[in-house]
Structure 1
Amino acid sequence: MSHTTNDTITWGMMLRKLPSIAKAIPRVVKGMKAANVKDPTQPCGLGWSFEQATLRNPEGPALLQGAVKLSYSQVNQWANRIAHHLIAQGIRKGDVVAVFIENRPELLVTILAVAKVGAISALLNTSQTRDTLAHSLNLVAPAAIIVGEELVPAFSAVRERVSIDAARTWFVADRDTYNQPGIAPDGFINLMSATADSPSDNPASSQQVFLDDPCFYIYTSGTTGLPKAGVFKHGRWMRSSASFGLIALDMRPEDIVYCTLPLYHATGLCVCWGSAISGASGFAIRRKFSASQFWSDVRNYRATTLGYVGELCRYLVDQPPSADDSRHGVTKMIGNGLRPGAWREFKTRFGVNHICELYAASDGNIGFTNMLNFDNTVGFSLMSWELAAYDHDSGAPTRDAKGFMRKVAKGEQGLLLAKIDDKAPLDGYTDPQKTEKVVLHDVFEKGDRYFNTGDLLRNIGFGHAQFVDRLGDTYRWKGENVSTTEVENILLQHPNISEAVAYGVEVRNTNGRAGMAAITPAESLATLDFSELLAFAREHMPAYAVPLFLRVKVKMETTGTFKYQKTRLKDEAFDPGKTGDDPIYAWLPGTETYVQVTEQLLADIHGGKYRY
């Protein structure tokens, strides 16, 4: 991790920002008013804010994908027809509707309709299958599900394990269903045909949604292995869309956000779409990110704003330079995980003026935004936060003799703790015990409560922070959180593996951490068939969770705690020079098996010969 001291923000740097700060004050005041809905009887949230945007910009583009271009009025009326139908089918405020559709207009229209009813969308991760998918569904006991044609096979495989009435198992064809609803397979009801004749006026229910009502369940990788469902309330939607859209990005009706991030994650759905709605701006999406098509899409949609994660920026920087690199109308971008190493290069090569890096956790109560456009920072937060000293082996915050935690000095890295109070409530998870696990009590004084983010940050001055790393049992790879416990549990189901420890390791010039697992064979190394083992892992876990490296250990050391051992395994990573007698294997991109890592192969990996 780069932690150069020159990222510190000085008085001189702040003074140079004074003109832009002065200019921003009116919209900050307006944004803070919009963000802080305090009256529990005031209608608010996703449905309400979309209706407000429709009044502001009825004929302006709201959703764009490929040849599909829908105005705010069209999208609003489409969502209204679906909402009226859901209500007629008995879906009520507080009911859970599982939504399982890939990135396309139908996904957003469906989520919007569910929000207008006052029901809760459970946003299933579209790469989930089998046990994980069944677990995610059963965790929230949905009253209904809406499945895209592209995911019918995945849902059908677990359908018997989930009790959802067939009359509320809706289907959405994989085509432009605004114009052609398509035909549903047996056992499904075609949502678009069924809603075609419903009323298209705003349902009364969207005025009955208040700040404390849940809007979505967003799944985060649970440290226990299987996903947890984080609760995202309408009040938080207001805070998020106004903070990012109004305050940070100053979105207007003439703006268009281009987002290729998965819309079941909060960055794509709440930050990017929320920002677009807050400005009554356009929202252009793509099914899956494509580095080679990225800038031509940007030009086609006339985008002014990008949604990103760090990995996406790295893929773009890795594309061969082109004369068209800065020929586009993008002036600002919002997202997270852009590393200091790629920051300056991205800004200069692609000519994007403002990188609005943010830090937020979909299951947390704090957000940081780089509103003042400094380099290499997640910006500042309007919430109360502290960086606490922590134990490097266990990852737990340390307490002094009096039982309180210690704040780290400026420039030092510490564990980010966010104060829980009326201004920053914690919505938590659907499971209260899981929520209690992330809450710390009596932290700096008796009676205070803080949310433990599990992330390491550094204070670089003037309330600005820099993201350093994640602690604990998850790591990020390909923009997804990977649960080490989940990877371990799947590997242990393999008949030839008796023990498994999973962890993330850094690979030069990549973002996040690549998956690695130390495994002990049930009998001997000779019994492991590496191509069969890889096929097993790929079948049972999402692509981003499959370990890229394996370390074969005859016996796991149980000296010290398990965590301590993980720390050592992470440090030794996949360098055969450090792992003693344990052979290391790598899955190289484009191949179907694991091969042993030699000094030469290690040098090739470090030298960037393989594209991870």
Structure 2
Amino acid sequence: MSLKAKLQREWRFVRGLNRTLARVKSIDSDSRNLVCDDLQDAVETWRERAALTFEGRTVTYGELDAIANRFAHWGKGLNLRRGQTVALFMPNRLEYFAVWYGLSKIGVVTALINNQLAGLPLAHCLNISGAGHVIVDPETAPAFEAARPLLEKTVREWVLGPAHGDQRDLVQALKSCSQLPPDRSVRDDLRAHDTALLIFTSGTTGMPKAARITHVRAQLYMRGFAGATGAKASDRIYVALPLYHATGGLCALGAAFLNGGSVVLRRRFSASHFWGEVAQEGCTMFVYIGELCRYLVNQPPAEDERRHKIRLAFGNGLRPDIWPLMKSRFRIPEILEFYGATEGNVSMFNFDGREGAIGRAPKWLRGRFNIRLVQFDVEREQPIRGADGFCVECGPGQIGECIGKIGDDARAEYSGYVDKAATEKKVLRDVFAKGDAWFATGDLMKTDADGYFYFVDRIGDTFRWKGENVSTNEVAERLQAAPGVREANVYGVAVEGAEGRAGMAALVVGPEFDIKAFGEHIARDLPSYAQPLFVRILPAMETTGTFKLRKMDLVADGYDPARIKGPLYFHDARRGYVKLTKAVHERITGGLAKV
């Protein structure tokens, strides 16, 4: 890279960092200024501007605020008080943001429940939220009612739509509520360190946990992205992510609303409608997460994918192999990748667009970041400590766990979960000095000499096989480069009589896929210990609502043909991949097959 290019890259980084810090530097945990006050200021500044478009209806900032005020007065009418919780169990819709914005004006906490949940996971989230009321719509009401017998206490059901049976008609109740803001005195005793929202973890490795989102943390998300994206009042941000998650519900909305811009909200993501709607609505930005971008790349070419006005895509989880395709095929001038832990105190941005990096903390700004990488023992799943008992920091190229120092500054606070035991479990103590405390992200990363961070894998996903550490994330990227492979999900499975875990890959493939050619490809591209011992073919990949790949059920199925429908293969040392029949399975479990 030329000196000029390096200077330009540094300038982009510093510009982005300064722009972000300028928006968050005044945030104070003890302040009386809450996230709803930030939003109220935006309303007063841009009252007549378009704020939100949903399914053909557009509301101004003033109209959106009026809807929120009705919810605030509805809560007051129920005698809901500071710190009490209302559960919000709905898909994206025009009123979604207004519900929690309005309730925050009276100090009530809103638990944002994943609208795809049902049964025990749904009941679990409602139970740990402590909510006495739940807001649903006709789409989610049946799931709530089916889960009602599993609830630990009575939860009143309010429906935004026709009410039946024991349901309460929220549409009718709101008609009698004032559109004017509630008196500011109702939240005078609240401070920014109080809880505003509960946002739940994805539940990819167990039941979801409720992360406490304080007003401070919500402000950091919303103000931070208002600065990091460089959004302006003229920007229109396309949001197809669920609003129950921080990326769509706080980061994207903050970028728009705190700059006078507008949001084009979609009920759910559709790869086939994406570019047509983006072009039709004149959107200038969109927010992504997880595999959303891969779904776009896997779509057949369409005219609208190059006729849009997008100048920036921002989000997290963009795979390195998809990054250049997104920029070139869809003509996206700039991509802003970031990393953040919903419940934690670690966040970083890739302001200068280094492909594949999730963020940057250069040495010359080391004191401005609370982020470090510590060496990690994958087998024991704990940090490595030296002879002095302290953790050992990673050097460039070394893989370790990312941790964030817990401090009094708003950006370094750790609010944790509703469950105190789960909160404490994520804290590392005596890391570099006696008495210090650090938040453990559970993510393995590596850095380079320039301070760029690269995601490697989640702890628990990386496994050992034949004495080597295998990153499921890195292997999946290699497999997705094989001819005919559309998606890949890699995980470890236990094999009788063998140490560690063997690699297994679940693939979604196209008609051109050939298992023999696949075997030849990975033999060239991966070391023997990283090559999946088992392969199963799926019609579609199961994901969470935020496009994270689910692994729990796949791991539980293992490689047993009695439990798996669809093609299943075993990598034979002499013949390559062969069909995994009942007889082959018996040879493996009996220790007769070479693994």
Shorter-normalised TM range:
0.7 to 0.9
Corresponding residue of 2:105: 116
- 1:226-237 map, 5 Å: 226-237=207-218
Determine the C-alpha separation between the residues in 2 that align with 1:29 and 1:111: 26
Indicate whether 1:514 and 2:465 are aligned. Answer: no
Q: Is residue 221–residue 474 contact of structure 1 (8 Å, CA) maintained in 2?
A: no
Deviation, structure 1 residue 160: 2.5
For the structure 1 residues 601 and 298, does the alpha-carbon distance in structure 2 shift closer, same or farther, using more than 3 Å as the test? farther
Match of 2:164 among 185, 188, 198: 185
Corresponding residue of 2:389: 403
Which residue type is aligned with residue 215 of structure 2? H
Q: Percent of counterpart pairs with the same letter?
A: 31
Of 365-374 and 510-519, the range deviating more from structure 2: 510-519
Indicate whether 1:84 and 2:73 are aligned. Answer: yes
- 1:184-263 map, 5 Å: 184-204=163-183, 205=186, 209-221=190-202, 225-246=206-227, 248-263=228-243
Corresponding residue of 2:159: 171
Deviation, structure 1 residue 52: 1.2
Indicate whether 1:366 and 2:346 are aligned. Answer: yes
Match of 2:271 among 274, 291, 299: 291
Secondary structure of the residue that 2:382 maps to in structure 1? Answer: coil
For the structure 1 residues 19 and 463, does the alpha-carbon distance in structure 2 shift closer, same or farther, using more than 3 Å as the test? closer
Aligned length: 512
Q: Is residue 259–residue 272 contact of structure 1 (8 Å, CA) maintained in 2?
A: yes
Q: Is residue 195–residue 212 contact of structure 2 (8 Å, CA) maintained in 1?
A: yes
Q: Is residue 289–residue 318 contact of structure 2 (8 Å, CA) maintained in 1?
A: yes
- 1:119-518 map, 5 Å: 119-162=108-151, 165=154, 168-173=156-161, 183-204=162-183, 205=186, 209-221=190-202, 225-246=206-227, 248-380=228-360, 382-423=368-409, 424-472=412-460, 506=476, 507-509=479-481, 514=489
Deviation, structure 1 residue 70: 1.0
CA RMSD of aligned residues (A): 3.3
Determine the C-alpha separation between the residues in 2 that align with 1:374 and 1:583: 34
Deviation, structure 1 residue 87: 0.9
Determine the C-alpha separation between the residues in 1 that align with 2:300 and 2:486: 19
Deviation, structure 1 residue 386: 0.9
Deviation, structure 1 residue 452: 0.9
Secondary structure of the residue that 1:122 maps to in structure 2? Answer: strand
Determine the C-alpha separation between the residues in 2 that align with 1:603 and 1:27: 56
Q: Is residue 241–residue 274 contact of structure 1 (8 Å, CA) maintained in 2?
A: yes
For the structure 1 residues 11 and 160, does the alpha-carbon distance in structure 2 shift closer, same or farther, using more than 3 Å as the test? farther
For the structure 1 residues 571 and 223, does the alpha-carbon distance in structure 2 shift closer, same or farther, using more than 3 Å as the test? closer
Secondary structure of the residue that 1:245 maps to in structure 2? Answer: helix
Corresponding residue of 1:596: 568
Corresponding residue of 1:42: 32
Determine the C-alpha separation between the residues in 1 that align with 2:351 and 2:59: 30
Which residue type is aligned with residue 226 of structure 2? G
For the structure 1 residues 119 and 10, does the alpha-carbon distance in structure 2 shift closer, same or farther, using more than 3 Å as the test? farther
For the structure 1 residues 418 and 39, does the alpha-carbon distance in structure 2 shift closer, same or farther, using more than 3 Å as the test? closer
**Unmatched tracts of structure 1, length 5 or more:** 1-8, 174-182, 476-502, 520-552, 605-612
Which residue type is aligned with residue 114 of structure 1? L
- 1:46-65 map, 5 Å: 47-65=36-54
Secondary structure of the residue that 1:263 maps to in structure 2? Answer: coil
Corresponding residue of 1:587: 538
Deviation, structure 1 residue 303: 1.0
Deviation, structure 1 residue 324: 3.2
Q: Is residue 145–residue 164 contact of structure 1 (8 Å, CA) maintained in 2?
A: no
1:115-166, Cα deviation, whole Å (9 max, x unpaired): 2221111111112111111111111221211112101111011113325556
Deviation, structure 1 residue 364: 1.3
Q: Is residue 391–residue 398 contact of structure 1 (8 Å, CA) maintained in 2?
A: yes
Which residue type is aligned with residue 242 of structure 1? R
For the structure 1 residues 391 and 29, does the alpha-carbon distance in structure 2 shift closer, same or farther, using more than 3 Å as the test? closer
Q: Is residue 80–residue 113 contact of structure 1 (8 Å, CA) maintained in 2?
A: yes
Deviation, structure 1 residue 468: 1.8
Q: Is residue 201–residue 208 contact of structure 2 (8 Å, CA) maintained in 1?
A: yes
For the structure 1 residues 412 and 243, does the alpha-carbon distance in structure 2 shift closer, same or farther, using more than 3 Å as the test? same
Deviation, structure 1 residue 593: 3.2
Deviation, structure 1 residue 222: 5.6
1:543-587, Cα deviation, whole Å (9 max, x unpaired): xxxxxxxxxx6xx44x76xxxx3xx2236889999999x986543
1:412-436, Cα deviation, whole Å (9 max, x unpaired): 2221111111120111010111111
Corresponding residue of 2:559: none
